[in-house]
A and B are shown apart, each in its own frame.
Chain A
Amino acid sequence: MPENAKKISFAKCGEDSTCGTSREREAAYSGSKKEMTCVVCPTGCVLTITLNADKSVKSVTGNACGRGVIYAENECVRPMRTLTTTAALANGRMLPVRTDRAVPRDTLIDCMREINRKIVAPTAKIYDIIIENVADTGANVVAAANGSDCA
């Protein structure tokens, strides 16, 4: 069996709320190193992160570009994700929307709640701001299509 298959099988949720980030992979390393997949783009580089004693990032290898370093730094402190979902249009159709920047992963459900309460005018245009400062994250929710195209 390919070795990476073992790593990703049975990824289980931890007890705490910030579950995820490949617990098993982390466990495979001693306290000072971890491995994670960068999710910033489809390349999905496998990053190896060396940590300082205070758990801050000392160095990152395996990243094909600079965004991987920022990703690793966030991931070790507070993971960030861009949220994509839909908002209801007043005519009953669904408008694709997204946050205009990454929001903390632990706020995704709060953002969803706020977006799902919103009814948007069908005249909305792509990139119109639908919700400002969603769930106090500092990010805006913007339309990802024209309301008129969502028939």
Chain B
Amino acid sequence: MKKQLVIIGGGPAGMAAAVAVRDHGIEDILILERAAHPGGILRQCIHSGFGLHKFKEELTGPEYAWKYEQMIAERGIELMTGTMVIGLTQEKVVTAVNPALGVFTVEAQAVILAMGCRERPRGALNIPGTRPAGILTAGTAQKFVNIDGYLPGKRVVILGSGDIGLIMARRMTLEGAKVEMVCELLPYSGGLARNIEQCLNDFGIPLLLSHTVTEIHGDRNLQTVTVSQVNTNRKPIPGTERLVECDTLLLSVGLIPENELTAMAGLTLESTTGGTAVDERRETAIPGIFACGNVLHVHDLVDFVSDEAELAGHGAAAYIQGKARKGRPLIVAAGTGVRYTVPRHVIERSKPVKIYFRVTDVFRDASVVVRDSRAVLFSQKKSRLAPGEMESVTLAPELLKRASGDILTVMLEVQNA
């Protein structure tokens, strides 16, 4: 099979990219999705908070996905569900498998990677103790409750205060479970402030910052966990241990972009994002292979996933149409207080470029500064910055053209740290 464009993953990123590419006149598009339905992680995110930027209304995850499913259907874009992609080469040969066709290959002119991310499994955490039933990731619990209709337990401790953990604290409470506490290793929560308010404070669920689960107890089923306070080096403080009775421990300890296929194609993965480096149109180091959404870096808001997917879509369409780009790449580096930037380099300097970044810590009254080798080119004050909330700065073409040298650094300047 031959296709102008193959999109791997039919989540919000894959669908928005497909729509953008189609709207640029490319017709020969194929989306490959491993699940039985498109929509990705949104299918299980039944809470609202999606679409405020994109559609100016507050939608639930399934409603947001539905908007894009309709756009795909209206445009007659080919979507193959129940199809898992198992291989990708540098030459853009995609190998996939499904029950109807068996193993098959597609030669693509361009590929968009939109595989999303998956949860960090418990193994990565190394909590001592027994291995009873009742320990699962927050996303798995979300799938059990929202898709399958099972409540995994009645007394719950949640480890990790990322958004999934917070959302699940409320969800399990509404379904009749008692959520004893949410423990967070760091001195601040990685979740959105609104989720701390409406998922924890609304139900009086305590958030224990600088606390972690240090031991798991129970033979067949989980019975108790030991919770300890940690010091500034994140090491448990002896004497602070307490036992908490529970039958369920939910782990909400981060997401990892699903990049096996990316690596298979020979692209390198960054340690900061878990994704590969891209330029402003989300093109990877292999010309014609693009990436967008959670596979590139973990997004908190699906609206930004859709925006990014549109950039990748425009890029892929331009690539297929053979529109050449000129210019020396301008590297966008992460400086003091900044963990990473996306994109990592800019080629086309004639259009504004939005640089997304995450900060390393919670900062108050800091300035986001962009500088080249000689001077500060841009500075903007922010009253509050937190690692859980993705930030961005938009660089105007004048600034990009004015930059001297090959490197721009995005960094923070803190007044009173």
Contacts and interface: CB of A to CB of B under 8 A. Distances in A.
A144 B51 CA distance: 14
Contacts of A10: 206-208
A81 interface: yes
A3 interface: yes
A79 B207 CA distance: 21
Contacts of B146: 86, 94, 96
B193 A46 contact: yes
Interface stretch (A16-24, A48-56, A133-141): A16-24
Given A10-B206, A39-B197, A85-B174, A96 B52 contact: no
B380 interface: no
Residue among A12, A36, A84, A88 having the largest count of chain B Cβ atoms under 10 Å: A84
Contacts of B145: 86
Interface in A127-151: 144-146, 149-151
Contact of A8 (B46, B194, B209): B209
Interface in B200-216: 200-210
B58 interface: yes
Interface in B142-179: 145-149, 171, 174-175
A93 interface: yes
B192 A44 contact: yes
A69 interface: no
A4 interface: yes
Main secondary structure of the interface of B (DSSP, over half): mixed
A9 B208 CA distance: 6
A37 interface: yes
B46 A85 contact: yes
Contacts of A13: 203-206
A105 interface: yes
A117 B326 CA distance: 63
Contact of B62 (A11, A42, A145): A145
A98 interface: yes
B174 A2 contact: no
Contacts of A144: 46, 60, 62-63
A2 to B, nearest CB: 4
Contact of B46 (A42, A84, A109, A112): A84
Contact of A2 (B49, B148, B188, B300): B188
A105 B204 CA distance: 13
A126 interface: yes
CB-CB nearest 7 A-B residue pairs: A13-B204, A44-B193, A2-B362, A145-B62, A19-B204, A96-B46, A39-B194
Given A12-B204, A19-B202, A145-B63, 9 more contacts: A8-B188, A21-B202, A37-B193, A39-B198, A42-B194, A44-B193, A79-B202, A96-B61, A144-B62
Interface of A: 1-5, 8-14, 19-22, 36-42, 44, 46, 79, 81-86, 88, 92-94, 96, 98, 105, 108-109, 112, 126, 144-146, 149-151
16 contacts: A1-B187, A8-B207, A13-B205, A19-B204, A20-B201, A20-B203, A21-B197, A40-B58, A81-B198, A85-B174, A86-B149, A92-B149, A94-B149, A96-B62, A145-B63, A149-B37
